[in-house]
Amino acid sequence: MKKVVSIAIALAFVLGVTMVMAATAPEKVTLKANPKKVVEFNHKLHSDQFKCEVCHHTWDKKGEPQACLTCHKKKAGDAPKYFKAFHDRKSNHSCVGCHKNLAKDGKKTGPTKCAKCHVKK
Ligand code: HEC
Ligand code: HEC
Ligand code: HEC
Ligand code: HEC
């Protein structure tokens, strides 16, 4: 009995943490590392459909995921350059890569044309 209770408490703790984490996912994010290429990103639309670590691929599942720019810099270093993080045509971590892969599989997807993400104001 004691064991059952401690498992229940452990489970409640895990669920509680999960809920707190889900609550930290932002509704909208503006990517503006390059002021000439600002992108409004509907984060909720995406985080409702995909696991966090599909995009936050280095996240340890504790605390807040780090911004892509923390590692992906203007020029390639330990991580591929910033441009590649969003336009890599193969990787599901990248905006364009995921949209392309889903289109290939005939699934509902997002845009791959420049102007659809880089909206002129
Ligand atoms: C489809 C891709 C994708 C998914 C899925 C996703 N995110 Fe994000 N998230 C992003 C991108 C892109 C950013 C902007 C990062 C940046 O500014 O460099 C971001 C930003 C964030 C930020 C703000 C980070 C900061 O420092 O500005 C938090 C917090 C966050 N996401 C949490 C989550 C959580 C929690 C989940 C899962 C419930 C999740 N995300 C799912 C792509 C995604
Ligand atoms: C803590 C550092 C770190 C963060 C934060 C990070 N990345 Fe990465 N990323 C890397 C490293 C290192 C690589 C190269 C090794 C690998 O593929 O894991 C990489 C590779 C990639 C690739 C190429 C994948 C491939 O298959 O080679 C893409 C695309 C990518 N990251 C997108 C993102 C996006 C989008 C975000 C933010 C939502 C992000 N990354 C956040 C470190 C990071
Ligand atoms: C893991 C897959 C995946 C990744 C990564 C991803 N998307 Fe999407 N995106 C989708 C899917 C699926 C849809 C269609 C969602 C729907 O209509 O319900 C979509 C729809 C969109 C749309 C059209 C709907 C809207 O919000 O206007 C835009 C724009 C978009 N994505 C931008 C981005 C940007 C910018 C990034 C990177 C920061 C990104 N996406 C990363 C899967 C992805
Ligand atoms: C699915 C969405 C999406 C599509 C399609 C897209 N981009 Fe991007 N692009 C982004 C995101 C997100 C960023 C990061 C914006 C920022 O932080 O300023 C970005 C940034 C850039 C940057 C700045 C990179 C840097 O290192 O400064 C350039 C240049 C760029 N895109 C060109 C293009 C071109 C050209 C196309 C069409 C061939 C294109 N993009 C299509 C999402 C997209």
Alpha carbon distance 77, 61 (integer Å): 24
Mean pLDDT of 15-34: 73
Residues with CB under 6 A from ligand 4: 31-34, 37-39, 74, 82-83, 86-87, 95-96, 99, 110-114, 116-118
Task: Give the global pTM.
Answer: 0.91
* Cα 6 to Cα 2, 12, 18, 20, 26, distances in angstroms: 6, 10, 18, 21, 33
pLDDT digits (tens, 9 = 90+) for 49-99: 999 999 999 999 988 999 999 999 999 999 999 999 999 999 999 999 999
pLDDT score recorded for residue 62: 87
Asked if the 26-117 domain carries CATH number 3.90.10.10, the reply is: yes
Q: Which ligand is nearest to the CA of 36?
A: 4
For the chain, the straight-line distance linking the first and the last C-alpha, in angstroms and rounded, comes to 63
Q: Which residues line ligand 2 (CB under 6 A)?
A: 55-58, 66, 68, 70-72, 78-80, 85, 88, 91, 93-94
The DSSP 8-state label assigned to residue 66 in this structure reads: P
